[in-house]
Structure 1
Amino acid sequence: MIDERLHIKGEMDSRLEVTDAPRLKQDGQTPFFKALKKNLFDGPKNTLLTLLTALFSGLVLYQVVQFAVTNSWDVVYIHLRLLMIGQYPLEELWRLWFALYYASLMIGGTWGLFKGAGKAVALTFGSVFLAFAIIPWTTLNTTLNLVACLLLMAGGYLLGSRFSVLKIPALVLWALYFPLTLGLIMGFGGLLDPVLSRYWGGWLLTVILASVAIIGCFPLGILLALGRRSELPVVRYFCIAYIELVRGTPLIMVLFIGQLLIPLFLGGQTGMDNVTRAMIAYVFFAAAYLAEDVRGGLQSIPGGQYEAAQALGLNKIKTTFFIILPQALKAVIPAMVGLFITILKDTSLVAIIGLSDFLGTARRISNNPEYLGRYLELYVFVAVFYFIFCYLMAYVSRYLERSLSKGSR
């Protein structure tokens, strides 16, 4: 039977009648306590396991707090400058502070302009700056410079959040950051006195080696991946031979080749210092691994993408660089970031060839007879630094996956 109320003046009434349904009885528990009970105290076995885990975690936390409070950390703060910048000349420290000012302003500006993962990067660097500024180990001059970095970061955020037109200039400034700061630290020819790389050390040397390796291996790895899929036999087999040869060689052997065999083959007159040779070795070693990651991304692209590009009239170069390669790089973000984290940690191997990186400097300090048995504090300090920056890279990677809709599939 059709209700007459559905027809008013020849038109259908689209309204629906909704009857009252019986309401569920509220148990008085919030969703948080429901989830807590379901996941941690759901039955006697789960409750027992939760209590044992909590007891073990409490014991570990107690030991960590006791170690941090009762131990003397003078071995760290006495050698803090050596751990961070090595033997970099005191009269030239303004170069490092300028590079840090530049980075702080850009990090804050990036957070204000692009939001997203820039917040995590800014908060991480800001927390590190604040921690070093307030601890009693830091000198007054260092504290003032770190406070200036925090103010520049805040100013960059305010500037970026209000003026969105600065996005393109911010990207240009980021592109110029590394060559400008590296040239400033080394010394521009004729403008600034050069600071020889043998004075670099500690965390400064670690960051420079890792940055050069990551930036340098990226374009080289992409070219090797594309070359391995080339239709030209000479190019393809050369790339295959290079990739397999480097991937089958330990990194320490590559470092020794860069330090010893290259000068021998070139007659001992290379004009390169030890740090430059180590940079080249890291770049060529990491490029081989990055090439395989990118090649895996290229193979994951369906054939329909190539056919669609051909239908649009795109040639092979435009198809590769504007259609295929962006999708391939998005697909292998986790693998690439994992490689970059490995590069950062593997810079510690340069201590074997005589360079004083972060870990190598800590090892040399621990060998001092005055600090025998005090190596644990040094290694904990080094481990915390490595963890902070490796975790930051992993967090940014996860954010990029989510933003590019790759991590939620």
Structure 2
Amino acid sequence: MSDATARAIAPPRRRSGPLRWLRRNLFSSPLDTALTLAALYGLYLTLPPLVQWAFIDADWVGTSRADCTSGGACWVFIATRLEQFLYGFYPAAEQWRVNLAFGLLVFALAALSFHRLLRRRWLAAALLLGYPVVAYLLFYGGALGLAVVPTHQWGGLMLTLVLAIVGIVLALPLGVLLALGRRSELPLIRAACITYIEVWRGVPLITVLFMASVMLPLFFPEEVTLDKLLRAMIGIVMFQAAYMAEVVRGGLQAIPKGQYEAAEALGLGYWQRMGLIVLPQALRLVIPGIVNTFIALFKDTTLVLIIGLFDLLGIVQQAFADPDWLGYSVEGYVFAGLVYWVFCFGMSRWSQRLERRLGQGR
């Protein structure tokens, strides 16, 4: 076939442009047109007053509520309480330790994102095995000349991130093991995993946290005391692992049977089949479900308020009780909601980028 003939029978190029996009996505039918016009009218009614309140008439600079006189949002309340919202009751002189710990984590994750980085596996192993020890020493202290900061002084965004990161890191491998156990051919292991998953999925997280705070110490001798934060972490990890197990099980069931048979034909053992063949494919299939579980876990950390731990939302709500700042709860909730949205949206975008890099859905 000549080049001229190929060009003659080539399909026409798909036209694109703003008008075509608007017609296809917003005005493709009478119903879509009505919904689009209703949404635009709703934005016209709500957006200008919101911008006027949040930006134009807002107060940004000051030290007390006496500086909020414009009638708009009083962001002075957020500015004066920002340190408490971020660190809780962590001593100001020791807050550099928190910044250093999270800075090391961000640096390590950023380094792992470079595919051409040499010895990435060593860095990943150091992050998984060494970083928890370093972070604990920085947060809690008691070694290397660092002052001890008890966990009841932890709070704010710091506590939210600690609970979420620990829950994410520990719930995923435990959920994978539970998913494998639920599909095991050994009746005892399968029954135990099914019982665990169904029991924990049938109980609200707020009940799990309450039981971990009140009932868990009863199973230990009187001379053994478990920290309240540790009890909350145990409850969160055990609860989220049950949901993670079902997500991973869905990925395992989506793998064709031929993959298992091909691995057996190669003479691979059970753990080799799962670790080298099945699990990499299964986890890639359920990236959206895994990240969705992570996002739910990040938001569920607000429930630790029931056992006396003040995460970001809890510390913001506590600030409302200050007589000097009564009446500014809207600004506090907007700030907390914006912080949660930034982290959740970031995890969502990261998962989409990971899906594209792994080629899922092509």
Is residue 292 from structure 1 mapped to residue 237 from structure 2 by the alignment? no
Is residue 165 from structure 1 mapped to residue 118 from structure 2 by the alignment? yes
How many residues are aligned here?
339
From the superposition, tell whether residues 45 and 221 of structure 1 become closer, same or farther in structure 2 (CA, over 3 Å).
Answer: closer
Q: Which residue of 2 aligns with 1:53?
A: 39
Q: Which residue of 2 aligns with 1:389?
A: 343
How far apart are 1:317 and its partner, in Å?
1.8
How far apart are 1:265 and its partner, in Å?
2.6
Q: Which residue of 1 aligns with 2:53?
A: 67
Q: Which residue of 2 aligns with 1:222?
A: 176
> Aligned equivalents of 2:4 and 2:306: distance in 1?
80
Gaps of at least 5 residues in structure 2 are 9-14, 56-71
Write the deviation string for residues 289-334 of structure 1: whole angstroms up to 9, x where unpaired: 1111111211111111111111111122211111111111111111
> Aligned equivalents of 2:351 and 2:200: distance in 1?
26
From the superposition, tell whether residues 73 and 20 of structure 1 become closer, same or farther in structure 2 (CA, over 3 Å).
Answer: closer
Q: Give secondary structure in 1 for the equivalent of 2:185.
A: coil
How far apart are 1:92 and its partner, in Å?
1.3
Write the deviation string for residues 87-123 of structure 1: whole angstroms up to 9, x where unpaired: 1112212212222432453455455x24xxxxxxxxx
Name which of 78, 89, 94 aligns with 1:87: 89
How far apart are 1:165 and its partner, in Å?
3.1
1:197, 1:275 within 8 Å by CA — same for their partners in 2? yes
How far apart are 1:393 and its partner, in Å?
0.7
> Aligned equivalents of 2:31 and 2:212: distance in 1?
58
Name which of 245, 264, 269 aligns with 1:315: 269
TM-score normalised according to structure 1 size:
0.75
> Aligned equivalents of 1:30 and 1:348: distance in 2?
45
How far apart are 1:51 and its partner, in Å?
4.2
Query: Which one-letter code corresponds to 1:85 in the other structure?
Result: Y
Q: Which residue of 1 aligns with 2:18?
A: 32
Is residue 305 from structure 1 mapped to residue 259 from structure 2 by the alignment? yes
Q: Which residue of 2 aligns with 1:258?
A: 212
Q: Give secondary structure in 1 for the equivalent of 2:118.
A: helix
Q: Which residue of 1 aligns with 2:295?
A: 341
Is residue 274 from structure 1 mapped to residue 228 from structure 2 by the alignment? yes
1:202, 1:358 within 8 Å by CA — same for their partners in 2? yes
Q: Which residue of 2 aligns with 1:76?
A: 78
Query: Which one-letter code corresponds to 1:92 in the other structure?
Result: E
Q: Give secondary structure in 2 for the equivalent of 1:165.
A: coil
Query: Which one-letter code corresponds to 1:171 in the other structure?
Result: A
TM-score normalised according to structure 2 size:
0.85
2:212, 2:235 within 8 Å by CA — same for their partners in 1? yes
2:86, 2:156 within 8 Å by CA — same for their partners in 1? yes
How far apart are 1:41 and its partner, in Å?
5.6
How far apart are 1:401 and its partner, in Å?
2.1
**What pairs with 1:85-164 in structure 2 (closer than 5 Å)?**
85-106=87-108, 108-110=110-112, 113-114=114-115, 164=117
1:398, 1:407 within 8 Å by CA — same for their partners in 2? no
Gaps of at least 5 residues in structure 1 are 1-13, 22-28, 115-162
When Rg is computed on C-alpha atoms for both structures, the one with the higher figure is 1
**Percent identical residues:** 41
Is residue 324 from structure 1 mapped to residue 271 from structure 2 by the alignment? no
Query: Which one-letter code corresponds to 1:93 in the other structure?
Result: Q
1:263, 1:269 within 8 Å by CA — same for their partners in 2? no
From the superposition, tell whether residues 243 and 58 of structure 1 become closer, same or farther in structure 2 (CA, over 3 Å).
Answer: same
Q: CA RMSD in A?
A: 2.6
> Aligned equivalents of 2:179 and 2:295: distance in 1?
20
From the superposition, tell whether residues 277 and 36 of structure 1 become closer, same or farther in structure 2 (CA, over 3 Å).
Answer: same
